[in-house]
Chain A
């Protein structure tokens, strides 16, 4: 038990991955000394969970509160205006449709998706012979929910180690999200390790290390300018050696128009897959809620080099509406997995379409 704890304490110090693999062996050595097999280690990890759970619940509550708050803020802008529109109008007129269209476009939903939504509403109104505005409200709520509801729940994790690759353009909040996601996963009973795959931006490694120590998880890093594929390769090795079950890999922000950088990402993905079958288990594209129509092109281009499996929408605590996720969902069918709602480490929550949309019209 103590050995296990000690091991945990030591981990954050491990930074150099070259060392890390060495340390990893050493650690298994330490475990062997204590007469603990890998399974026993895992078991201890499991028994350790209940203690954490109390904290988790508190965190959970805090998180719920902050999500509600943030969503309330978001709704305060766009959604309350949609609500207001439905309350204000008494009849379903052309003018009503026009105003609804304006509101959706102003929320960055995009012209095409907006038109599709409006068209669907018109059809419903016609087919179901809806006369009253209340009926239209119900129908529209349905349509919006239909856009966002998701068949695949949660993260796809594999045993014994899962690699989650975090990708996105510059400045969307990848590193911050990793810090939050590490805290979230740790809270859910996983052991987590961070891979500092952004070897390009000045101080990106330091930033991830700062988040790593806040979240209390180890960070595997190489020198600035080194090959991100190698960092992630080593991180997987370190995770296996230490019995860590989730590796969160940071990557440098890259504009999807940069051919070489996108090829680099393709390589990262394929190297990971060779080292760990099935990896990356999730490729999470971080989308800034303030971004406009370009995010749709980003999503498509990223998918081409490393198939994106889900979105994390950040900065939803801003006044931006994040309507672009409707467009991304509409065009590419990508599910939203998490939403980031602030700068605190607990400001991340699983996305819940029902709650998101349900709140729109209350």
Chain B
């Protein structure tokens, strides 16, 4: 009889689990550490590596059969390969796997195809709860930004309040919503909606169909009927990024009833690795067109194969992080900051600026998730560990200082500290902590700007960060 780990191990079970999700590259580093220095990958090396690759892919919910397929292809490509000079064998294997996944995920037309004569009809299909209604609204907004005139159609007559939901979303976005009273049949609703779109000169019709199981013959037939009644240009399968092994069968079954032209991968703002996307893409050949990354109406993105490949391999989403950073970092401020660092006039004001810029990027754990090698750490710490309110406290403390004190914290004596503590609702001890952190940071900066990275920082950076030198990814 198996002892249940959760019962036996208690809180430590989670640490094991976090370890399980460690980046593939970290694990390969471990496996290959004995082999370092070899110039060529032997068959035995590759087999060991492939076992790790297999585990990583399965943990990311890539379909079992697809994993086997990928494994074979990688095997062929890897055996006998000379390891590139700049790479360790582990990095070399990861690069091959990464490239392979990018190739598998990419390709195909990733933009929405437009009908020769308007309106273009886009039908969203999928299982219950995959996010069709939300995606419909997001898609409408996305396309309107590109100058289209979308019409949303509430064709889900089964789920309670589904029509209300779409109507409310339409209202929020000022996108018209076509719906009919209870009792109407979805194929009729869709046909009438297209007629209405023609009259109103709306050039894009988005059909929000009901969630259905692919084994429900009646409802699958309904999709076919809709397709027979209206000229559907794009049939997009909405897939939840958290879907497991079954994703492939579901998509294939939909594909056989109403040939799919694209995928929308939803809930990618979570930490699901999204192996389902790879599986569906590999098996049906249908390209991923959009990715849903949040609950807000503008949280729909084009699909970038390299990002999702990195994510499936647990390598973090460096590109998204960089984009996010660029989006939120004030370039001018960054330049100023750099100058201050060089001239060592970096004060608490600048420290505050920095904190606020980081805050703008979103919850810290989310930011950490995107850094290679840090995702495991972020998970280990959990969302509560990066106490965002801590940042607020630091802010309050700095705001309670005079400009002079901010520029030169060394003048802070006991009396000044007590005043600041009163002003910020903290204690002098808290203030000492902030100042200590700040002076450590200052010292670090001096070393950085002199081109020397202190040993303990280097160790921190290399911890689990085997991807540092990986080509195709900017070095972080």
Contact = CB atoms under 8 A, between A and B. Distances in A.
A170 interface: yes
B17 to A, nearest CB: 6
Contact of B127 (A290, A329, A334): A290
A318 B275 CA distance: 20
Interface residues of B, number: 67
A129 to B, nearest CB: 17
A352 to B, nearest CB: 18
A230 B404 CA distance: 45
A260 B250 CA distance: 33
Interface in B39-58: 55, 58
Given A116-B2, A290-B244, A171 B160 contact: no
Interface stretch (B96-104, B377-385, B464-472): B377-385
Contacts of B7: 333
Contacts of A117: 2
Contacts of B60: 293
Given A73-B215, A290-B246, A292-B272, A170 B4 contact: no
B13 interface: yes
A255 B1 contact: no
Interface in A90-117: 102, 105-108, 110-112, 116-117
A257 B215 CA distance: 32
Contact of A173 (B128, B169, B245): B128
B128 A171 contact: yes
Contact of B388 (A111, A143, A259, A291): A259
Contact of A292 (B165, B271, B275, B295): B275
B152 to A, nearest CB: 12
Contacts of B59: 110-111, 293
Interface in A313-340: 315, 317-321, 323-324, 329-334
Given A259-B388, A292-B61, A203 B164 contact: yes
Contact of B242 (A295, A301, A315, A334): A295
Given A107-B245, A206-B160, A257 B383 contact: yes
B98 to A, nearest CB: 20
A5 interface: no
A295 B63 CA distance: 16
A324 B244 contact: yes
A300 B4 contact: no
Contacts, number: 195
Interface in B260-293: 267, 269-273, 275-276
Nearest to A146: B1
A172 interface: yes
A292 B249 contact: no
A317 B215 CA distance: 9
A30 B118 CA distance: 62
A202 B165 contact: yes
A1 interface: no
B131 interface: yes
A296 B17 contact: yes
A211 interface: yes
29 contacts: A105-B58, A105-B245, A106-B63, A116-B5, A120-B1, A171-B131, A202-B166, A204-B161, A210-B160, A258-B363, A259-B388, A290-B250, A292-B243, A292-B244, A292-B272, A294-B270, A294-B273, A297-B21, A297-B271, A301-B383, A315-B128, A318-B215, A320-B244, A321-B246, A331-B5, A331-B6, A332-B6, A333-B4, A334-B6
Ranked nearest first, the 4 interchain pairs of A and B with the lowest CB-CB distance are A292-B244, A171-B129, A333-B6, A210-B160
Interface of A: 73, 102, 105-108, 110-112, 116-117, 120, 142-143, 146-147, 169-173, 200-204, 206-207, 209-211, 214, 255-260, 262, 288, 290-297, 300-301, 304-305, 315, 317-321, 323-324, 329-334, 343
Given A290-B243, A330-B2, 6 more contacts: A146-B1, A171-B267, A206-B164, A206-B165, A291-B242, A293-B60
